[in-house]
Amino acid sequence: MNHPRIKNRPFQTSRVSRNTFCSSLLLTRHSCSFPAITAVFLACVVLLLAPISSAFSGTTKCLQWIRNTDSLVLAEPSGRIIISRHASALRIPASTLKVLTSLAAIHELGPAYRFKTEFYVQGDGILVIKGYGDPLLISEVLSNIAGQLSKRIAHVKAIITDTSYFSRSIRIPGRGHSTNPYDAPPSALSVNFNTIVVARDEKGNIISGEPQTPLTPLARKIAKKIGATNGRYSIGEDSDLAAQYAGQLFKRFLLKAGVQVSGTIGPGLVGSDAELLYTHYSPFTLKQVIRKMLKYSSNFIANQLLITMGARSFGPPGTLAKGLKVFRQYVKKNLELKSPVIVEGSGISRSNQISAIEMMKVLIRFMPYHRLMRKQGRVFYKTGTLKGVKTCVGYIRDGNHNLYPFVVFINRPFCHLDRITRCLQGLVPSTS
């Protein structure tokens, strides 16, 4: 007897051999006694229900840690739900919200989008730097820009920083007043994530904490004020400080490239008499920016993307309100999500809320970009942490390289998120 081939899916073992076995035995019932037939029937029931019992026990084990404050969903690659609990309840997603921000940015800006920064010369040798929200103006990039500018200008008499593409001093809900890098402010012109890296030498003097970045007067002043020792610190809450720091760092790299720089560094606008000297396009595509954002869980990059989306859609200056308008329109019209509450793009705010089932829809749409996430073993993932909140979303890859999206939202103090994710891995076959 020929049987159709059954595809191997999680929680579905092939019953062909078992059905054949039972059928062949029951077909011989004319030669069996009643007790024998009864025994065969019971054996067949056990065989047929075995995979169901195994799957049920596995899913039950994974649900044992889920309380009323938590949510869990695991789905097949098609989106069919395998296991879920409290899937429709709104939860705080923490940094897993960055997956949704990434998806919105890819839709609005395009995966190949590159940020730009413009350099003008006006008056008698005044260099004007206009930022457009590039979150990856790092020291190595600044060094390359200085090299390009040195081919076009020999003497700079002053530096003006134009940050008008973003509104000044944008306040991000949930962002604290600390010197931690995750509290760095957004800015149209920002370098090194609006942070400084410092260290102390043997005599206790403040020095640069990374060889590629010169120590500027402002960085030294900030480090001294906050009592910095070793590490990375936010420059503070004021976006004007971000522009000043950018101007000082550009000056250092221009000097190193052989450009004479004198005069002051201060805020301003591109003048009507200004001539475009050079347009720098980031060496990083949006996909590469997102990869770095997800890897380091950068709140700064997430909200730079959000504000940029608003500025491009509704015109400058970029504001949080404009960015959120674009974000919410995408969530509602393109993803058809109805219940999320989004107040910023990084997940740092506890006011952000989304259900596990709607985050699952996000993951289904994000599947082509899953390699932008961190990877451990056969799991691609993004975690999130706030006080009393631990979350994890991503994909578990099976033996055939199919992706099973999962969402775990724990909205209470809990130290064993890894147990749940390991349990979910056990429900997805690792062999083909």
Residues forming a β-bridge with 198: 208, 231
pLDDT for 28 equals 42
Give the mean pLDDT of 173-196: 94
Same domain, 277 and 381: no
Helix (H, G, I), strand (E, B) or coil at 321: helix
Q: Tell me which residue range forms the domain holding 410.
A: 65-110+338-426
Above 70 in pLDDT, residue 51? no
Residue 347 near residue 96 (C-beta atoms within 8 A): yes
Name the band, by pLDDT with cuts 50, 70 and 90, for residue 57: low
Q: In this predicted structure, which of 54-63, 209-218, 303-312, 339-348 has the lowest mean pLDDT?
A: 54-63
For residues 336 and 409, what is the distance between their CA atoms, to the nearest angstrom?
Answer: 21
Q: How deeply is 368 buried, as exposed, middle or buried, from its count of CB atoms within 10 A (0-12, 13-18, 19+)?
A: exposed
DSSP-assigned states of every residue in 360-380 = HHHHHHHGGGGGGSEEETTEE
Q: Number of helices and strands (H, E) in the chain?
A: 11, 18
Which letter does DSSP use for residue 350 in this model?
T
Per-residue pLDDT band for 62 (boundaries 50, 70, 90) equals very high
Answer yes or no: do 272 and 133 share one domain: yes
Parallel, antiparallel, or unpaired for β 265-267 and 379-386? unpaired
Lowest mean pLDDT among 45-54, 333-342, 407-416: 45-54
Domain membership of residue 314 (yes or no) is: no
Q: Which amino acid is at 374?
A: R
- Is 368 inside any structural domain? yes
CATH number for position 99: 3.40.710.10
Each residue's pLDDT tens digit, 122-166: 999 999 999 999 999 999 999 999 999 999 999 999 999 999 999
Q: How deeply is 210 buried, as exposed, middle or buried, from its count of CB atoms within 10 A (0-12, 13-18, 19+)?
A: middle
- In this prediction, residue 20 carries a pLDDT of 42
| Pair 276, 144 in one domain | yes
pLDDT at 67 over 60: yes
367 pLDDT more than 70: yes
Answer whether residue 182 is part of any domain: yes
- Residue pLDDT, tens place only, 374-410: 999 999 999 999 999 999 999 999 999 999 999 999 9
Selection from 276, 268, 274 nearest residue 162 by Cα? 268
| Per-residue model confidence (pLDDT) at position 412 | 95
CA dihedral 266, 271, 274, 278 (to 10 degrees): 50
Give 273's DSSP letter: T
Does 279 share its domain with 134? yes
Strands 81-85 and 379-386, by their bridges, are: unpaired
Number of domains in the chain: 3
Residue whose C-alpha is closest to residue 306's, from 345, 351, 349, 348: 345
Mean pLDDT, residues 66-77 taken together: 97
pLDDT tens for residues 5-18? 333 333 333 333 44
What is the separation, in whole angstroms, between the first and last Cα of the chain? 25
Query: What's the average model confidence in pLDDT over 268-276?
Result: 97
Judged by average pLDDT, the poorest of 5-19, 172-186, 251-265 is 5-19
User: What pLDDT does 177 receive?
Assistant: 85
The pLDDT assigned to 114 comes to 99
- The whole-angstrom separation of Cα 355 and Cα 89 is 5
Q: Are 407 and 359 in contact (CB under 8 A)?
A: yes
Instruction: Count CB atoms within 10 A of the CB of residue 205.
Output: 9
Residue 106 and residue 120 in one domain: no
Residue 161 lies in a domain: yes
pLDDT band at 33 (very low <50, low <70, confident <90, very high): low
How many angstroms separate the Cα of 332 from the Cα of each of 94, 242, 343?
A: 20, 34, 15
Same domain, 136 and 267: yes
* pTM (predicted TM-score): 0.86
Q: Does residue 215 fall inside a structural domain?
A: yes
Q: Hey, what's the torsion of the CAs at 58, 64, 68, 72, to 10 degrees?
A: -40
Question: Tokens 């005069």 identify what position?
Answer: 263
Do 167 and 248 fall into the same domain? yes
Provide mean pLDDT across the span 46-74: 71
Banded pLDDT at 21 (limits 50, 70, 90) = very low
Q: Are residues 373 and 280 in the same domain?
A: no
Q: Is the domain of 103 the same as that of 121?
A: no
Say yes or no to pLDDT of 25 above 50: no
Report helix, strand or coil for 158: strand
Residue at 308 is within a domain = no
252 lies in the same domain as 228: yes
Within-domain flag for 301: no
For residue 17, the model assigns a pLDDT of 40
Q: Are residues 195 and 230 in the same domain?
A: yes
Rounded distance, CA 61 to CA 285, Å? 42
Residue 214 counted as domain residue: yes
Average predicted confidence (pLDDT) for the chain: 89
For residue 180, what is the domain's CATH number? 3.50.80.20
Q: Please give the Cα distance from 53 to 165 (Å, whole number).
A: 60
pLDDT tens digits along 104-128: 999 999 999 999 999 999 999 999 9
* pLDDT recorded at residue 239: 80
Q: Which of 92-101, 228-237, 350-359, 365-374 has the lowest mean pLDDT?
A: 228-237
The per-residue pLDDT for range 326-355, each reduced to its tens digit, is 999 999 999 999 999 999 999 999 999 999
pLDDT value at 39 more than 90: no
Q: Which of 55, 79, 102 is the last residue of a domain?
A: 55
Q: Is residue 132 located within the same domain as residue 188?
A: yes
Q: Answer for the pair 358, 79: CB distance below 8 angstroms, yes or no.
A: no
Name the band, by pLDDT with cuts 50, 70 and 90, for residue 58.
low
